[in-house]
Structure 1
Amino acid sequence: MAKILNIEIDTAQLRVAETDSRGLRIYRCFTLPVPQGAVDDGQIRDTKTLGTLLKKELEARNINNKKVFFVAGSSRIANREVRIPFVKKDRIQSIIQENATDYFPIDISGYVLSYSIIDIETTEPKPGEELKQYHLMVYAAPTSISTAFHELAGYAGLSMAGIGYTGDSVYSAVKETFADGVHMLVKIEYNSTSISVLNNGELALQRTVNYGVDSAIETVRAFPQFGEDLTQTEALTVLHDRRCLQDTLNGIAAAELDQQEELLENAKMEVTESFRYMVGNISRIMDYYISRNTDVTFSSIQICGLGAGIKGIRRFLANELGHRVEVLYALDKCTYPEFPESEGLYLYTAVIAPARSGVNLMEKTTRKKKEAEDNLRGSVLVCAVGVIAGVALAGAGVANHLYQQHMQDHLNQRISEESSIEDIYNTYTSAKTNYENYQRMYQYTNTPNEGLKTFLEEMEQKMPSDITVETFSSTGTQVSFSMRVSSKSAAANTLMQLRTFESLATVTTTGLEEAEDNTVSMSVICTYADPAPLDDDTTE
């Protein structure tokens, strides 16, 4: 059976699995740490470095397979559930292309569109009348993602077969295992978490939140109790090897501890606290689904991805979500090799069968290069046939000329009859020009100070309640304030949280002052992020 390399690239980790074409067996698999800054939100920034690393690792493992199917995960990839009439499958893509602007409020010329079929629904609008329609999940990915993957494949010496989407790949891998009941699969990655709800094997809900293990990694690096001057990879290893999490966000009152033990417990509490927003978003998505389906109870909650390997994460999520949580260690009808102690199937869920659903976000020009080469050989034959046909057509030239003259007269008459359309078109063009001028004028009214409201809302949402703001001032470009917190570690955590604010471009501090009561005063200067453009639309 033909083999293929399936590769998923996250901000912190690259995962490779050599599988059969049906995704029922993993022959070999491995992970590689991604150099810091090489990948940002699913967009590969350094294709040469990453491609060279991948090529060396494949050679070291004697993997000679050159055909690769990539899996992309990014907040820039939009998805929508849509329903279209029941037509021939070869017409679905063209219908999606024609109606893309109804699904996504973007200029689709810079995006690649693809889809997967969730279900074929049957309704009876009238007694005895049956109406079928497709229930689809449609995806739109920037062409820059496809271009970057194509460059990466070139540097790695691979031939790209396609690009899948993480959420679709995970669903394709688990839907047979979760064919009965309602199940939730939580894929925790470096800076995002995707939540998929399956109802009797069908995708009922899929959401992505912008919280992952990145805050926990930075917290581990900030506390010397876990190690001095840890890199991002070393901090992740600490989370996998040591129990750095408390069982709940509220913590457990410990017995008398010496100073070092107390410092370690406080550090663990800070690591646990870094998961608060992620857990809160998962809980809200659960509540949303239950509110729409009041008779539903979850049969299981499974976790996978980078975060599933963190020690204590399963028990922590179970306590916070109020439901039993399991790590995804096995799937029905899937065989796989023995994993190292530090790994498991939970890491490779997205690379088991990414091509199974048919989703392919590879840019069409890249996808058709091979087809063009095949067509070139056929064009020689077509040319020969064309010469013969040309001789035959020459004999019918006179008759054709008379026919074309008649058609020209007819078209000229139609042009004369429809001349009023030109006035309508000119009116439309003028209105469009005015609209674009007004839009450009409005952009000049935007100032960074418009981000003050967003900044204050983020302060209310993300900052701990025990912070006291002593002074506060705002200009057209920045906001400065001083605040008092309970300890130096709280000050460090506060700065880390401020640097996650979407409303801010930069965050700096002029230093800390510790009072006699051990509280810490800190002055902070923040620069606003650029305001969003007038017609900026965001997608889920």
Structure 2
Amino acid sequence: MGNILSVLIENSDMRICEIAKSGAAITVKNAFQVELPSGTVDDGVIVDVEAVAKVLYAALKNNNIKRGKIAFVITSRKIANKEVTLPYVKNEAKIEEMIKANIEDYFPMNNLEDYIIRQTVLETVENAEGKNNNILVTAVQKQMVEEYYRLASMLKMPVETVDYYNNSLYQLLRKQLTQGVVLAIQMDENATMVSIMRDKVQLFKRSIPYGKQTIIRNLAEFKSIDEEEAEAILSDPRKLDLELTPEEYSEVIRDFSSSVTRMAEFHTSRNPGTVIEQIRLMGTGINLIGFTEILGKELGLEVVTIKELNGVKIAKKNLHGLNYELLADYLPLLGSMMQSLNLKAGEQKKGTDWHRIAYLLIAVALLANAAMAGFFIWQYFTMKEVKANLETQIAAEEPAEAVYNAYNNAQSDYTQIKEYYDSTKNSNEMLYTMILDLEEVMPESVGITNLTAENGAVDITGVAGGKSALSKFVIELKKLSYVSNVRVENVADTYDEFGNSTSAFNLNLQLNFPEENSEEVTEEENTEQSTGEDSES
């Protein structure tokens, strides 16, 4: 396979790697970063495709890169994830069928046809109840993916693949950790992925809103210096020894280390048999001088950095003097070359043959609908005639036994249908309602970074503009009639140079399915009250 350009497009810049792939091994030939004009990208969505295409075209020209295949890695809070457990099936096609059959339970949205659904088997578990697959299901908006394909089309570059940021990091991590229970910390510029791995299986994963730039900003605030000077201190051992004591360093990273500790404690509390044996650090954090030593003291276990990457080589001749320390800034672009989710825009559209098949399917569907409609019309008039005959017989003979039997049959049918209906009810059905309500009641200074739901239990991770905003958010949640047991599990505060606070939080709540007859009761009570008032007047 020839060269592939792997690209991660964020709100303000693009990270680009030129990669040569041979079998399972990849070789990085160049890696660099370019800035984007303001407003061209919004949370993973390319707003101005033409502007991004011009920047990317100029970057390729300036770095003497020939246009070949291109791969994209998307990062966005709009991408939904859901971990599910299904009976063990080895065949991937069968797993996909099971996911499609239950997809509305995982993502209770009324426009699922606008999403691309992918699944990744995380783990196979066997217990007394049987053998199951733990699966991560991902839903990505088709329109978001289509913009990346349009960008590739403008550049006249065929698309190799489109992957999701979290999956790319996960696939790279699986190559590095092969034995033992490991707490893996994958630090990027402004966020960090915390994973607990057993051999190559991911047992636990959470994202926290702290990255390399967060540590630099914390030091700048702590020492009342600018961020460039803070970064210089964390890049030079001599400056670090002169400017920062170990105790001060611990204070600077306290929010970060506390968040990692809480994640580890949360997992081990739910899995008492899991003992973390090692801590491994990947990504931008490996370039912060002294960071691993201080973090290890805070976590109570030695932190070992992963620099040289299994399955990844660096070309001896490259344009920017690339090495593994510099490559740490580009890890999200590598895993997609190993095993991508392979998100495709219009993946059913495959030229003229597909259109013919589509038209044929539509025609068959229309004929089937017409036949079904005719059947129901015939059945309606047939049953109407049967009903009329029965009514005539009952009116003529009025046999008590026939009436009694008809009642019993109707009661039995009702009970059976109600059982079927009740079996379809799930508290997660209220998740979509809650999301709509959040758009109305959530304070502007509150942002949700991760939301998961299982059987009505919702776990929310986010950032608020201080505890006051967080308290208001909690109050608004409690006002929702179908929400109960709202609990804030963790709050971590950070302060900017003006004393303004930002609170990273984790809270959970319970969604309750409303009683089926509550509206009917209310209407009856209102009717009775209205009648009573009229009588008094």
Give TM-score scaled by structure 2 length: 0.61
Aligned to 1:414: 379
- Tell me, yes or no, if the aligned pair for 2:250 and 2:295 is still in contact at 8 Å: no
| Residue of structure 2 in register with 1:116 after alignment | 120
Give how far 1:235 is off: 7.1
Q: Is the 8 A contact 1:246 1:272 kept in 2?
A: no
Q: Match for residue 24 of structure 1? A: 25
Do the aligned partners of residues 40 and 202 (structure 1) sit closer, same or farther apart at CA in structure 2, a change above 3 Å counting? same
Structure-2 separation of matches of 1:407 and 1:279 = 63
Aligned-pair CA distance for 1:208: 1.0
1:44 Cα deviation (Å)? 4.1
Which residue identity lines up with residue 303 of structure 1 in the other structure? Answer: L
Given candidates 233, 241, 262, the residue that maps to 2:235 is: 241
Residue 315 of structure 1: how far off its partner (Å)? 2.2
Matched with 2:182 is: 183
1:162 corresponding residue in structure 2: 161
Structure 1, 180-189 or 274-283: larger mean CA deviation: 274-283
What secondary structure is seen at the aligned counterpart in 2 of 1:54? helix
CA contact (8 A) 1:304 1:327 kept: yes
Establish whether residue 317 from structure 1 lines up as the match of residue 295 from structure 2: yes
Amino acid at match of 1:31: F
What runs of 5+ residues in structure 2 fail to find an aligned partner?
Answer: 361-368, 388-416, 422-429, 447-461, 471-493, 506-510, 513-537
- Alignment partner, residue 424 of structure 2: none
> Judging changes above 3 Å, is the alpha-carbon distance between structure 1 residues 28 and 139 closer, same or farther for their aligned structure 2 residues?
same
More off after superposition, 301-310 vs 279-288: 301-310
Pair 1:24–1:496, CA change in 2 (3 A) = farther
**Cα distance between partner residues in 2 of 1:446 and 1:408:** 44
8 Å Cα contact 1:38/1:45 also seen in 2 = yes
Structure 2 Cα separation of the partners of residues 374 and 240 of structure 1: 59
Amino acid paired to 1:24: A
Q: What displacement does 1:39 show?
A: 4.7
- Please give the alpha-carbon distance, in whole angstroms, between the structure 1 residues aligned to 2:18 and 2:94: 33
Once residues 111 and 9 of structure 1 are traced to their aligned partners in structure 2, the CA distance between those partners, rounded to angstroms, is 20
In the alignment, is the contact (CA less than 8 A) between 1:52 and 1:155 conserved in 2? no
Q: SS state of the match for residue 203, structure 1?
A: strand
Shift of 1:205: 1.0
Residue 206, structure 1, aligned to residue 205, structure 2? yes
TM, length-normalised to structure 1: 0.61
Deviation, structure 1 residue 46: 4.9
- Go from structure 1 to structure 2 and tell me whether the alpha carbon gap of 1:204 and 1:413 turns closer, same or farther (over 3 Å shift): same
- State the distance in 2 between where 1:59 and 1:53 align: 10
- Give the equivalent residue in structure 2 for 1:197: 196
Kindly provide the CA deviation profile for residues 356-382 of structure 1, in whole angstroms up to 9, marking residues without a partner as x.
44513344x2x344x225647xx59x9
| Aligned residue among 340, 343, 351 for 1:372 | 351
Displacement, 1:213? 3.4
Deviates more, 1:116-125 or 1:71-80: 116-125
1:245·1:271 contact (CA, 8 Å) conserved in 2?
no
The change in CA–CA distance for 1:87 and 1:301 in structure 2 (over 3 A counts) is closer
Superposition pairs of residues 122-521 of structure 1, within 5 angstroms: 122=126, 125=129, 132-218=131-217, 238=232, 241-242=235-236, 273=251, 275-337=253-315, 340=322, 343-354=325-336, 356-363=338-345, 365=346, 367-369=347-349, 371-372=350-351, 375=354, 411-416=376-381, 458-459=466-467, 493-498=497-502
Deviation at residue 74 of structure 1 after TM alignment: 2.8
What are the superposed Cα offsets for residues 248-294 of structure 1, whole Å, 9 maximum, x if unpaired? xxxxxxxxxxxxx8xx559x998875543332211111112222333
Alignment check: 8 A CA contact 1:17 1:351 kept: no
Partners of 2:162 and 2:188 lie apart in 1 by 19
Overall identity of the aligned pairs, in % = 20
Cα distance change of structure 1 residues 280 and 77 upon mapping to structure 2, 3 Å threshold: farther
Change (3 A) 1:78 1:414: same
Distance 1:151 1:274 in 2: 43
Distance, in Å, in 2 between the alignment partners of 1:450 and 1:26 is 43
Deviation at 1:79, TM superposition (A): 1.6
Contact 1:6 1:17 in 2 (8 A): yes
Q: Which residue of 2 aligns with 1:89?
A: 92
TM superposition shift of 1:202: 0.8
Distance change in 2, residues 1:310/1:47 (3 Å): farther
Q: Do the aligned partners of 1:80 and 1:139 also contact (CA within 8 Å) in 2?
A: yes
Q: Match of 1:116, SS?
A: strand
Whole-angstrom distance in 2 between the partners of 1:444 and 1:134: 35
Deviation at 1:407, TM superposition (A): 9.1
**How big is each residue's C-alpha offset from its partner over 1:196-228, in whole Å with a ceiling of 9 and x where there is no partner?**
22101111111112222344454567799756x
Q: Distance in 2 between matches of 1:281 and 1:314?
A: 16
Whole-angstrom CA distance in 2 between matches of 1:2 and 1:449 = 47
Is the contact between residue 53 and residue 155 of structure 2 (CA under 8 Å) also seen in structure 1? yes
Structure 1 residue 66, shift from structure 2 partner: 2.5
Could you tell me which amino acid in structure 2 is paired with residue 414 of structure 1? Answer: Q
> Do the aligned partners of 1:22 and 1:353 also contact (CA within 8 Å) in 2?
no
**Residues 216 and 272, structure 1, Cα contact 8 Å, conserved in 2:** no
Q: 1:63 and 1:450, CA in 2 relative to 1: closer, same or farther beyond 3 A? A: closer
1:185-204 deviation digits (Å, cap 9, x = unpaired): 21222332111221011111
Q: Which amino acid aligns with 2:329?
A: L
2:71 match: secondary structure: strand
- Contact kept in structure 2, 1:150 and 1:160, CA below 8 Å: yes
Q: Is the 8 A contact 1:117 1:134 kept in 2?
A: yes
**Letter paired with 2:58:** K
Letter of the aligned partner of 2:19 in structure 1? Answer: E
Q: Distance in 2 between matches of 1:307 and 1:144?
A: 34
* Paired letter, 2:61: E
Residue 73 (1) aligns with residue 38 (2): no
Distance 2:46 2:231 in 1: 23
Runs (5+) with no aligned partner, structure 1: 126-130, 248-260, 387-403, 429-434, 463-489, 503-533, 536-540
Letter in 1 for 2:64: N
**Cα distance 1:242–1:154, how it changes in 2: closer, same or farther (>3 A)?**
farther
- 1:413 Cα offset (Å): 3.4
* RMSD of aligned Cα (Å): 5.1
- CA distance, structure 1, for counterparts of residue 49 and residue 370 of structure 2: 58
> Which of 90, 104, 107 is the matching residue for 1:104?
107
SS class of match (1:285) = helix
Q: Tell me if structure 1 keeps the 8 A contact 2:86–2:134.
A: yes
Contact kept, 8 Å, 1:16 with 1:31, in 2: the verdict is yes
Deviation at residue 341 of structure 1 after TM alignment: 5.7
